Amino acid sequence: MQRETVLTVSDLIWPLFVTDGEGVEDPVQSLPGVSRWSVDGIVKRAREAVDLGIPCIALFPNTPESARSEDGAEALNPDNLMCRAIKAVRDACGSDIGILTDVALDPYTSHGQDGLVNEDGYVLNDDTVAVLVDQALVQADAGADIVAPSDMMDGRVKAIRMALEMNGHPNVQIMSYAAKYASAFYGPFRDAVGSGGLLKGDKKSYQMDPANGDEALREIALDIAEGADSVMVKPGLAYLDVIWRAKQAFGVPVYAYQVSGEYALIEAGAAAGIGDRDALLMEKLVAFKRAGCSGVLTYHAPVAARLLNG
């Protein structure tokens, strides 16, 4: 009766990896229990989400190496993996499931960076923003409900918001990766989308220093002012203080991404016998809610949903 924090299935967003082919289920070795799915498999997972009461899925493509390039042009292809998956899920599930899509170039570039780079390998902010705008429009045209720029380029939220308004998508939301840290917890994700082995250098010139909290609030404030409907802190567990401060300062929906490394540590810890897997994952999800999250992106979404549904 006196419980202060309540976690529900409606708080969950399920990240899913899309791969080429048909009838494909390709397990991600560094993410036990997680697979890359061909579009038909993604449709099945979306239907599973509907049945479980999960309100939204988040899609990330594992673009074939042959379609990757220096400029990430495949991101603008209206028939790319992402767009095919969006359309297939929309046709199969209608409005019963929300579709959140990743806006960034790292799944499409041959160098693994989130944006365009110059001859010295430095990521070009403004040139990248122009491409991200077109990428967001392609995804909105395909049927995305929420576009989520994860690139951390400055000014991209305003540019995307203006483009959506001017191109017939005023109701498509923007969930901004507003405080995305240059974290050591992203490794399994990069394996899943195929960018890990391609990455040249690091992403510290545009992702945040893990030591900085005040900077996160400035970044979040800028994205809200530019038109973000909700903001994200990524990773989640090591940055609960940032989530709390953001919620207290701005009062907008704040989401956490329980990233691949966090997921993998729970699975590895449970396998090593340090604790019960279900208890570990639920305790961490409750922590996100207690810190002020409106919701959590987690690979444990279907497991958590089944536990919450009894």
Question: Which tens digits make up the pLDDT trace of 54-77?
Answer: 999 999 999 998 999 999 999 999
219 annotated to bind ligand: yes
Residue 221 contacts residue 250 (beta carbons within 8 Å) = yes
Compute the residue count for the chain: 310
110: Cβ–Cβ under 8 A, 6 or more apart, which residues?
65, 68, 69, 70, 198
The domains of the chain are located at 9-308
Mean pLDDT of 109-123: 88
Token pair of 234, please?
Answer: 């990524």
Catalytic residues: 180, 234
Across the chain, mean pLDDT equals 94
Its sign, for the CA torsion 290, 294, 297, 302, is positive
User: DSSP state, 16?
Assistant: E
Q: Which helix (DSSP H) or strand (DSSP E) does residue 131 occupy?
A: helix 125-142
Tens of pLDDT, residues 117-129: 998 888 999 999 9
Task: Say if CB 297 and CB 258 are below 8 A apart.
Answer: yes
Question: Of all residues in the chain, what percent are helix, strand and coil, respectively (each to 5)?
Answer: 45, 20, 35
Residue range 9-308, CATH number = 3.20.20.70
Q: What is the DSSP letter of 209?
A: P
